[in-house]
Amino acid sequence: MPAICFYNASMRQFHTTYHIPTQGKGLYEFTAEVIRWLDEQGVRDGLLTLFVRHTSASLVVQENADADVRGDLERFLSRLVPEDDPIYRHTQEGPDDMPAHVRAALTQTQLSIPVRSGALVLGTWQGIYLFEHRRAGHRRQVAAHLLGE
């Protein structure tokens, strides 16, 4: 079967970077900031890609209605990937560093979210979160790339 290719000369690209301050482990929602930026670009249909520029944090789409969900996720990952495990050799940045790398490897560093009729195609209770895996606060960067028309 031959491949079907479409070319659309009206496709546009946009880029931005979100700077998200954290105060230690947990999920930090930034859905509203993404929606605001998307509205400014005027793209009706396309694809948004988000990429976290760190190896000890990740990105997730998760429920934004009940804070217990976020707390339960944090507690589960803390049990699954404990600190001070003797199997870790990478310890020079503290006892929470290697577990943060493992947690980031188990979750996602990139999200792709469709855009339809000028809006993110998210479910009713879904939000976009940076998942901080270190105990100390950081200023995390998330690169965004929007392709659409």
For residue 11, report the phi and psi dihedrals to the nearest 5 degrees.
-65, 135
Residue-range domains of the chain with CATH: 12-148 (2.60.120.460)
For the record, the structure tokens of 18 come out as: 């979100």
Phi, psi of 91 (to 5 degrees): -130, 0
Count of alpha carbons within 13 Å of 130, Cβ hemisphere only?
31
131: pLDDT strictly greater than 80: yes
Helix axes 67-80, 97-106, angle to 10 degrees: 120
Tokens of 19: 């700077």
Report pLDDT for 45. 98
More confident: 46 or 92: 46
As a whole number of angstroms, the longest Cα–Cα distance in the chain is: 56
Exposed/middle/buried for residue 84 (C-beta within 10 Å: 0-12, 13-18, 19+): exposed
What percentage of residues in the chain have a pLDDT greater than 90?
A: 91
d(CA 73, CA 67): 10
What element of type H or E holds 143? Answer: strand 139-148
Residue appearing with tokens 């880029």? 15
pTM: 0.92
Q: What is the pLDDT of residue 3?
A: 63
With bands split at pLDDT 50, 70 and 90, how would you rate the model's confidence at 113?
very high
> Which amino acid appears at position 137 of this protein?
G
